[in-house]
Structure 1
Amino acid sequence: MRILILLVMACWSFTNRAAAALRPPGVPTVRKHLVYLRDKANTPYSLSAPQRFLTARALERRTRQGIALQSRDLPVDPVYVEQVQSVSGAKVWYTSRWFNAVVVECDSATLAVVQALPCVRSARTLNRSGVGVVVSPVGEGSAPTVARPAGTRADYGRAYAQTHQIGADVMHDAGFRGEGMQIAVFDGGFPGVNTGAVFTSLYQENRLASVYNFVGRDQNVYQYDNHGTLVLSTMAGNQPGVFIGTAPQATYHLFVTEDVASEQPVEEVNWLIAAERADSLGIDIINSSLGYNTFDAPSVDYTYAELDGRTALSTRAATVAARVGMLVVSSAGNEGNNRWRYLTAPADADSILTVGAVDSLGARANFSSIGPTADNRLKPNVSAMGRQAAFVYPSGAIGRGNGTSFSSPITAGLAAGFWQAHPTLTAQQVIEYLQRSASQATTPDTLLGYGIPNFGRAQQAVAGIPLPTAPTVGVGNRVQLYPNPVPAGAAACTLQLPAELRSQPLEVRLYDVRGTLVTTLLLPASNAAIVQLPTTALRPGVYSCRLGRSGGPPYTLRLIRL
């Protein structure tokens, strides 16, 4: 089942879905099949000449992460493809390097002939009913607007809460907005992306690198369901004063993999083919706000036992995508308050970042799917705001809705900026640091995983600074410094004081990494819970901040100055 928003505001429009659900009468079903080939023994491609099938950026991503090429990276044998294509009535739609297979459209009688070929190992039917959707494309073109850097709460509009909760606003102020990172978005359609003001900087700055509709084998992506538009806006939105997403300067690829008119395993294969294209293009991050457990034909529904990281088609594809160095970010699912309760594929995949949902206060959203996987691995990995998350409609209106469909891209944008800040990390290290930064990193569970990730804490983890056991999100009765890291150029940071440190003078001493006293500040007695700590004189670096009080032990915190 596709992961859609569970509860949305009253202004939600079902126009695109209703249009997509209209099927031309009397058109017969033509089935698609995943045909597995026997081998790659005689392929003309070689691992010694990978530039024939992988871009320089794809090869660089592997080299940077120490990932060796394997036979799965080789394209299928073109001679085998020709043999399948030569069967009368068989139409080859796609080939799959990773699964050594071809997607073939044909009837049952033709499939029997295909399966008899010596080059064919086996076949699986991917759709039992339904036909393609025909919708007129949305017109292109919009007037560009000039974007400016994010900085204030007002700049983010309604996106501020979900951005601030994970420290993405601090990340932006530190200069990491996703520049140079490439993100592929797999979804069911992107109407309005080519006309909306919140997306115009994508075109103005040439950051919309490619689009493709894997359902119709064309480039018509600005149509069908608006789910993809809403998802994209939480990352790529870039209209200061109205809405800013978590990765407003990243480069994007928009891939339609979901056929909104039906629910068939062929959509999981579309996911696979899109992931292979993402790999070959050198894309860094895949966001998948999609999930599968039930289909139009109940006989192919997944059971919970099959959510083991090895069974579902999309799960197997996501696992390989992670193995070749891409960071796959997936919605956990919206099944937490129904009979299924658990994750949906591909969220059960190993080595990917599966994201659950919380509200603005950090409490778990009851619809958020839970773990563990069937083979008892911890899922979700982390959680972010998915209850009453803000997004942008194709019309440009700002809305709010519920779903892990939103917590996933919000987190993917955080991952993009964090990876930009630390480009030598591997995708798996990015996951590790985000988990270590999260609000319940020391006590993970199958409801929220490691909790809510935070950019500042992830920065501390990379720097080797011991993290406090208490989360840095929210306000409580503990000493806190924020934003931390302190952005370059910031005149001060905020020092939060518990009740026991108020109403008495405080001495604040800052030491550098060598233990040298850099400065001493005297704070007069005050009942204020929040005071400002000047940082203008501090050079970029890591500092130990010690708070002393009369008659009591000192409090020590770490401070990073960017």
Structure 2
Amino acid sequence: MTAHKGETATIIFFLIYCLGLCLPVAAQSGGQARKHLIYFRDKANSPFSVDNPQQYLSDRAISRRHKQQINITARDLPVNPLYTAGLKSKGAEVLYASRWFNAAVVYCDSSVYTELVKLPFVKNGQTLSRRNTSTVTIRNGSASPKPAPANNRRLKTDRQTYGAAYNQANMLGVLQMHEAGFRGEGMHVAVFDGGFSGVHRVPAFAHLFEESRVKATFDFVDKNEDVFEKDTHGTNVLSTLAAYQPGTYVGNAYKANYYLFITEDSRGEHNIEEVNWLLAAEFADSAGVDVINSSLGYTTFDAPSRSYSYNDLNGSLAIVTRAADYAAATGMLVVNSAGNEGNKPWRYISAPADADSALSVGAVDSLGRRAAFSSVGPTADGRIKPNLVAQGLLAAVVTPGGQVVRANGTSFSGPILCGLAVGFWQANPTLTNMQVIKYLERTASQASIPDFLIGYGIPNFSQAHKLAQEEENKSVIFPNPVQNNQLQIRMSKEFINQRINVTIYNTVAQKVVKEIIATTPVSRNVVVDISSLSPGIYNCVINGNDGPKIFKFLKI
């Protein structure tokens, strides 16, 4: 793991307890050695506590939860180190541990695996790979990139400045976003991919290193810190976000901070790659990342890994889908490409694009017409996917050699739109991750008639920002109708730093819920538990210093 100065001790903790960086234990002989996921029964007698999250979360991670009123729960706790020690004592090599799944990735043969699943603290296990995929890494060298033009001056927002990236940025209103001063400053973005070959040498990325904005790197496949190798795909993806070479190419969030993680193993397709995604997301959470970009998708795997059918893409089954939803539950915005199966027999989105809380992105051409290859919805349980679209047909990307070329895929429409989301959230920092998605959807090109081909359509910064700013000055209930047991209220500025009385009445004016909730300058989002309410129409009355506000909502 490459961690640059300014990182907290949390990264060191994560390396020790979550990545399992310890002296390896040789796998015992007794059959072919493979990687397995071992699920633990509980987190009983843990040395960690939800009351002391500084043990395992950075200040940024805690702040992100606080701003969005997300409680730290037992799922955030690291696995019990006694349990991982117990696995090692049986001869397994513990490679990683997962907080959210309460599990460990181990490497051992079948005889050891049989013993592991019998342990009293083990719930069950799953084989993740056909063989050990560890290899000797071939490095690309460490030549320093040539300096790119300084970017501390005002950027001209014209076709010449953006070069080949002009249309894909202009389609989303990114030029206006940059003109308004939102280029990703202060935002932290993690990119999951198969490799970032040449990024450390390409002039268009030089500013990231000169300004120390590559915050951490790690290869979860081969368990080392070198990510500037292997696949070129991640380089192309990163360029749409972070490249900066005025006159040639400008990415959509070129001033953000970046975490570069290899989770994809191009040597085969196995469930271990889903777990790599999970582990990278957990690290991103611990480090305080705001946004995850993933241009990855999974449906079919090599034996003995379990493949998915379309019916499995219901938002709750695939390993990587559950990981994406857990990541979103911590307050991170998860942006994932929809997939490139639209003109193939599969046709539909892949995991984790089916995740309920992920912003799934399809592809259009330069004129806004759906690209034939762009995967379609709905999810198996009937939800609209993709959520939104951006240019993915003949999108401009930067290669490891520094050239600008055209490429096709939702792999590129995803990060192109992700850059918009980063700047939009920067411009509206009091929003939750889910509100970011909803504002982009509500102001997209076909917001009133979403479909299963391009979802809500093409979003636009200016329109989304205008709506968000208008609603800054009024209190709103979202979403409405309410589909779960949490009523969320975004309080207007007049309710900052107040104790708010929230009272809910049924249709015959009976008081059914009453709560007193405090707001802060950084968190004006109020969450009210309505699990006691039956489906139906209710009136919500909010009382603060300036009198009552009355809202009507529907619980379904």
After TM superposition, the score normalised by the length of structure 2 is 0.77
CA apart distance, 1:417:
0.4
Q: Of 92, 95, 115, which aligns to 1:93?
A: 95
Cα distance in structure 2, aligned partners of 1:402 and 1:130: 32
**Residue aligning to 2:120:** 118
Determine if contact 1:192/1:394 at 8 Å carries over to the other structure: yes
Larger Rg, first or second structure (1 or 2):
1
Determine if contact 2:130/2:304 at 8 Å carries over to the other structure: no
**Residue aligning to 1:193:** 199
CA apart distance, 1:117:
1.1
**Residue aligning to 1:252:** 258
Q: Does residue 316 in structure 1 map to residue 319 in structure 2?
A: no
CA apart distance, 1:87:
1.0
Cα distance in structure 2, aligned partners of 1:220 and 1:417: 28
Determine if contact 2:129/2:304 at 8 Å carries over to the other structure: no
Which deviates more from structure 2 when the two are superposed, residues 135-144 or residues 386-395?
135-144
**Residue aligning to 1:401:** 407
Q: Of 47, 66, 74, which aligns to 2:50?
A: 47
Distance 1:299 1:114, change over 3 A: closer
Aligned residue pairs total 438
Q: Secondary structure at the match of 2:320?
A: helix
Q: Does residue 263 in structure 1 map to residue 269 in structure 2?
A: yes
**Residue aligning to 2:496:** none
Q: Of 368, 376, 381, which aligns to 1:375?
A: 381
> Which structure 1 residue ranges, 5 or more long, are not aligned?
1-27, 466-562
**Residue aligning to 1:495:** none
Q: Of 65, 69, 90, which aligns to 2:68?
A: 65
Determine if contact 1:147/1:238 at 8 Å carries over to the other structure: no
Alignment of 1:279-318 (within 5 A): 279-297=285-303, 300-318=306-324
Question: CA offsets, 1:402-459, max 9 Å, x none?
Answer: 1000000001100000000011110000001111121001110000000000001101
Determine if contact 1:76/1:100 at 8 Å carries over to the other structure: yes
After TM superposition, the score normalised by the length of structure 1 is 0.77
Q: What one-letter code is carried by the residue in structure 1 that aligns with 2:398?
A: V
Q: Secondary structure at the match of 2:148?
A: coil
Distance 1:131 1:299, change over 3 A: closer
> Which structure 2 residue ranges, 5 or more long, are not aligned?
1-30, 472-556
Q: Does residue 275 in structure 1 map to residue 281 in structure 2?
A: yes
CA apart distance, 1:137:
1.1
CA apart distance, 1:115:
1.1
Cα distance in structure 2, aligned partners of 1:120 and 1:389: 47
Q: What one-letter code is carried by the residue in structure 2 that aligns with 1:57?
A: R
Cα distance in structure 1, aligned partners of 2:35 and 2:288: 28
Q: Does residue 131 in structure 1 map to residue 133 in structure 2?
A: yes
Question: CA offsets, 1:146-179, max 9 Å, x none?
Answer: 3334322211110000000000011001100000
Cα distance in structure 1, aligned partners of 2:54 and 2:118: 34
CA apart distance, 1:208:
0.6
Determine if contact 1:211/1:255 at 8 Å carries over to the other structure: yes
Alignment of 1:499-510 (within 5 A): none
Determine if contact 1:191/1:226 at 8 Å carries over to the other structure: yes
Q: Secondary structure at the match of 1:274?
A: helix
Question: CA offsets, 1:223-253, max 9 Å, x none?
Answer: 1110000000000011111100110101000
Determine if contact 2:439/2:468 at 8 Å carries over to the other structure: yes
CA apart distance, 1:308:
0.4
Q: Secondary structure at the match of 1:464?
A: helix
Question: CA offsets, 1:306-327, max 9 Å, x none?
Answer: 0001110000000000111000
Cα distance in structure 1, aligned partners of 2:342 and 2:292: 24
Determine if contact 1:285/1:326 at 8 Å carries over to the other structure: yes
Q: Identity rate of aligned residues, in percent?
A: 55
**Residue aligning to 1:423:** 429
Question: CA offsets, 1:338-358, max 9 Å, x none?
Answer: 100001000000111000000
**Residue aligning to 1:226:** 232
Q: Secondary structure at the match of 2:136?
A: coil
CA apart distance, 1:144:
2.6
Cα distance in structure 2, aligned partners of 1:153 and 1:145: 19
Cα distance in structure 2, aligned partners of 1:447 and 1:134: 43
Cα distance in structure 2, aligned partners of 1:162 and 1:243: 11
Determine if contact 1:30/1:131 at 8 Å carries over to the other structure: no
RMSD: 1.4
Cα distance in structure 1, aligned partners of 2:271 and 2:305: 11
Determine if contact 2:299/2:308 at 8 Å carries over to the other structure: yes
Q: What one-letter code is carried by the residue in structure 2 that aligns with 1:40?
A: K
